[in-house]
Structure 1
Amino acid sequence: MRVIICGAGQVGYGIAERLATEGNDVSVIDTSATLIHRIRDTLDVRGFVGHGSHPDVLAAAAADQADMIIAVTLFDEVNMTACQVAHSLFDVPTKIARIRSQSYLAAHYSNLFSRDHLPIDVIISPEREVGDVVLRRIASPGATDIVQFAEGNVTMMAIECREDCPVINTPLSQLTELFPDLSATVVGVWRNDRLFVPHSADQLLAGDLVYVISHRRQVKRTLSLFGHDETEASRIIIAGGGNIGLYVASQLEERGARTKVKIIEASHARAVEVADKLRRTVVLNGSALDQQVLIEADIEDSDLVVSLTNDDQVNILSSVMAKRLGSKSTLALINDPVYHGFTATLGIDAQLNPRAVTVSRILQHVRRGRIRQVHSVQKGSAEVIEAEALETSPLVGKPLRELDLPDDIRIGAVFRNNLVIKPDGETTIKAKDRVIIFAVSSAVRQVEQMFRVSLEFF
C-alpha cells in the first residue's frame, strides 16, 4: 500500500514507523527539515520538506499513485486542505484527517465532511479518542487497558495478575471447567517483556499482564475472578482543563454519574472558560504541582487523580505527589515513550499513550479485508482485530478444531445476530459473523488474508 503522511510529529512518526515495518510504501511530508531528516535516518520511508497541503509537494510525494493520505499535522486547516487537494487533484481513494478543534466536530456541522464539501473519509479527534479511553478506565477500575468491539457487546481487557490473584498457577483449561458459564477467553499474556498466545495447558503467573476478551456483561465478574474488586471512583480530580479534561468532565456530567469531579487548571482564563461550560464540576485555578492547591482539592479523600495536561513531566510529577498526599489511584497521560518504562516504579498506577490510541484508530483503515476495528497493544507487539467473515473466508463452515490456525492467533469471541458466542473447538463460524481475534504482530497479515474479499489467497 502506498501511503502519504502529512506531519512528522509524534503521531506521524508512530504511524510511519508502524506502516514501514509492515512493508508499506510510505512518504512523509513536514515543514520541519529537522523532523524529516530524523524520520529519513531512522525509518525506511521517503521524506519531503514542505506543506502537506501544497499541490507541488503532494505531487513530489507521488500522490497520484497513493492509496491513502493521513494528515496529522498540528493544524486542522492544513489537514483538511491536504485531504481536499489530494481528492481534487490526485484522486486519492482514502483520506484521513486529524481534527482537534471541537467546533468542527459539532453534530449539526457533520455534513461539512461529506464528499460534496470536504471529502474526508475518516475524522480522528485525539482528544475525544483519549477522553473515551479515560472514561472506560474510570468505569472499569482494575483493567489497565479496556476496549469495546461489536457495538460495545464485546470487551477486551488487560488485567494485571498480582500475588493474590486467585487464578494464578492454574492451567487455563481448568478455568473453563471451573467457570463454564463465564463468557471470557484469555487470548494473550505479556510476561518478561514478551507477548505470547497461551495454550490450554499454560498457567498464569504473578506479574503477568493478561489480555481477556469477554461479553460486556461479564467484565466485572472477570475482573473479580482475577482478584480485582476495586470500586468505581466517586471522587475524581482532573489535572488539566484542556480539551481532554473538559471532555471527560462533561461526559461524566451528561451520564448523570454521581461522581464528584474537580478540575485543576493553571491558566486563569481557561479555568473561567471551563467553569462556564460545566454545571457540577468544581474548577480550581492553580498548578497541579502546587501542594497547597492539591490539598485545597481534597486530594487525601480522592479515589482517582487523572493527569491530563499537555506536559508529560507535570503529569508524572503531579501523579507522584497525588499518591504521596493520599489519593487512592492515579492515571497519567504520557506522550513521550521515553517515560513509559518507569512510571510503575514511581507509584503511578496507570498511564495512557495518546499516540498509541491514534495509531490504533488509523490501523483499522489501513488493514485490508473486512476489518471493522483494530486495537494495538504493547507498542505494536499484537493487535486485537474485529473482522467480518465472508463466504470466501477459510474460517467459514468448519468447526474451529478442524481449522489449521497459526499458534500466534486466538479467536476471543464471535458476534452473531446480537449474540456473543464464546468460541470452543466445536464452534463453526458463519458468513457475516463478526470475529474478534487476538493476533501477534507477525500473524496480522494472515488475519487480513482470512477476511479478504478476493479469492486470490485461497
Structure 2
Amino acid sequence: MHVVIMGCGRVGSSLASGLERLGHEVAVIDRDPQAFRRLGPDFRGRQVVGFGFHRSVLDEAGLDSADAFAAVSSGDNSNIIAARVARESYGVEKVVARIYDAKRAAVYERLGIPTVATVPWTTDRLLRMLLPDGVATAWREPTGTVAVLPLPLHEDWVGRSVRDLEEATASRVAFVVRFGSGVLPTATTIVQAEDTVYVAAVSGTVSDVTAAAAAPPEED
C-alpha cells in the first residue's frame, strides 16, 4: 500500500514508522521541516514540506496513487479539510482524520469521513487500564454521548430475561456473546451463566448501569 500521512508529530511519525516496518510505502507531509527528525535516519519514505490540503503538496506526496490517507496534525480544521480533499478530489478510499473535539467529530462522520476523537478514545483506554475487567466501555460513538460496555452481572441474573435486565439498568442490551459467538437477543431472551452481555447506555449513566447489573435483581 501507498499511504500518505499529514502531520509528523508523535502520532504521525509513529504511524509512518509502523507502516514502513510492515512493508508499506509511506509519504509524510508537515509544514515544519524540523518535524521530520522524529522519523529517524532509517526512514525511507517521502518527506514533503507544506500544508496537507494544498494540491501541489498532495501531488508531491503521491496522493493520486495512494491507497490510504491519514490526517493527524494538531489542528482539527486542517485535518478535516485535508481528509475531505483526499476523499472528494482524489478519490482515496481509506481516509481517516484525528479530531480533538468529539462533538465536531460526529458532524464529520456524517460527511463520510471516519474520525478518531482523541479525548474519548484516550479516556476509554485509560479506563481499561485502571478499572476492573468489564467496566470500561468497549465503544463510544463520536460525540461521546452513548457508550457500549460489557456488564459485570451478579450471578442471580442468570435465568432472568433481557427485558428485566434492561428495566433494572435503564440501558439497552445491544448483543450477547454466548459460547464465543455474538447473539442478537430479544426481550424474552434468558440470560445464561456463560453470557457476556453488552449494553448501550448514556455515557453519564455508565456507573449507575454497572452498579445495577452488579446487584442481584429485585424479586417480582
Normalised-by-shorter TM-score class: 0.7 to 0.9
Taking structure 1 as the reference length, the TM-score comes to 0.39
Matched pairs, number: 212
> How far apart, CA to CA, are the structure 2 residues paired with 1:277 and 1:435?
47
1:263 matches 2:28: yes
> How far apart, CA to CA, are the structure 1 residues paired with 2:216 and 2:120?
33
1:326 matches 2:90: yes
Residues 52-102 of structure 1 show CA distances to partners (whole Å, capped at 9, x for unaligned) of: xxxxxxxxxxxxxxxxxxxxxxxxxxxxxxxxxxxxxxxxxxxxxxxxxxx
Residues 121-150 of structure 1 show CA distances to partners (whole Å, capped at 9, x for unaligned) of: xxxxxxxxxxxxxxxxxxxxxxxxxxxxxx
SS in 1 for 2:69: strand
> How far apart, CA to CA, are the structure 2 residues paired with 1:423 and 1:325?
40
1:273 Cα deviation after fit: 3.6
Aligned to 2:8: 241
> Which of 377, 384, 387 is matched with 2:141 structurally?
377
> How far apart, CA to CA, are the structure 2 residues paired with 1:293 and 1:370?
46
Aligned to 1:214: none
Look up the equivalent residue of 1:430 and give its one-letter code: A
Which structure carries more helix by proportion?
A: 2
> Which of 184, 187, 209 is matched with 1:447 structurally?
209
> Which of 309, 329, 334 is matched with 2:73 structurally?
309
> Which of 192, 200, 218 is matched with 1:429 structurally?
192
> How far apart, CA to CA, are the structure 2 residues paired with 1:266 and 1:426?
56
1:428 Cα deviation after fit: 3.1
> How far apart, CA to CA, are the structure 1 residues paired with 2:108 and 2:191?
43
Taking structure 2 as the reference length, the TM-score comes to 0.74
SS in 1 for 2:58: helix
Aligned pair in 2 of structure 1 residues 343, 449: CA closer, same or farther (>3 Å)? closer
Look up the equivalent residue of 2:193 and give its one-letter code: K
Structure 1 residues without counterparts, runs of 5 or longer: 1-233
1:328 Cα deviation after fit: 1.9
Aligned to 1:283: 46
1:344 Cα deviation after fit: 6.2
- Contact 2:176 2:184 (C-alpha < 8 Å) held by counterparts: yes
- Contact 2:158 2:190 (C-alpha < 8 Å) held by counterparts: no
Q: Which has the higher contact order (CA 8 A, sep 6+)?
A: 2
SS in 1 for 2:90: coil
Structure 2 residues without counterparts, runs of 5 or longer: none
Aligned to 1:39: none
> How far apart, CA to CA, are the structure 2 residues paired with 1:409 and 1:342?
24
